[in-house]
Amino acid sequence: MEIIGEIISGTHKGSYFMSLEVYKEEFRKKLKFEPFPGTLNLKISPENAAHISSMQDKMGAIKGTDNYGDVKFLPAKLNGIVDGAILFPVKTEHSPEILEFVAKENLRITLKLKDGDQATLKID
């Protein structure tokens, strides 16, 4: 499945949560890499959001704590070149049309991405 989304700015809370040890260790184990402390947010269509929501049984899970909730994830590839994962925090302020993608590097810098750019996510 391929999804096209528009790069948007987030709430800047992703960098905080990505730096918490409770998540970092789990990300290393389950994603096989340590993500850059931040997420790249993409706005997708409601139709694509509904389709992704139907993939719950294919999602992996990262255990949080009482204060910080669990995070579901789907491995994905951004623009056909960057391996990473789409995160689905159980506790989130985002609508289902906003996806949070993580990778090893700061994608805005590495790929020179800015708000309004289009990006493609491929989910196996």
| Domain boundaries defined on the chain | 2-123
Mean pLDDT (the chain, rounded): 88
Among 3.30.420.310, 2.40.30.30, 1.10.40.30, 2.30.38.10, name the CATH number for the domain at 2-123. Answer: 2.40.30.30
Q: How many alpha carbons lie under 13 Å from residue 73 in its C-beta half-sphere? A: 26
Q: What is the pTM of this model?
A: 0.89
CA–CA separation, 93 and 51 (whole Å): 20
Tell me which of 6-15, 56-65, 99-108 is least confident: 6-15
Amino acid type, 64: G
CA–CA distance, 39 with 60 (Å, rounded to integer): 18
pLDDT tens digit string along 84-93? Answer: 999 988 777 7
Give the mean model confidence (pLDDT) for residues 107-115: 96
Which tens digits make up the pLDDT trace of 1-45? 999 999 999 765 666 666 667 777 888 888 888 888 889 999 999
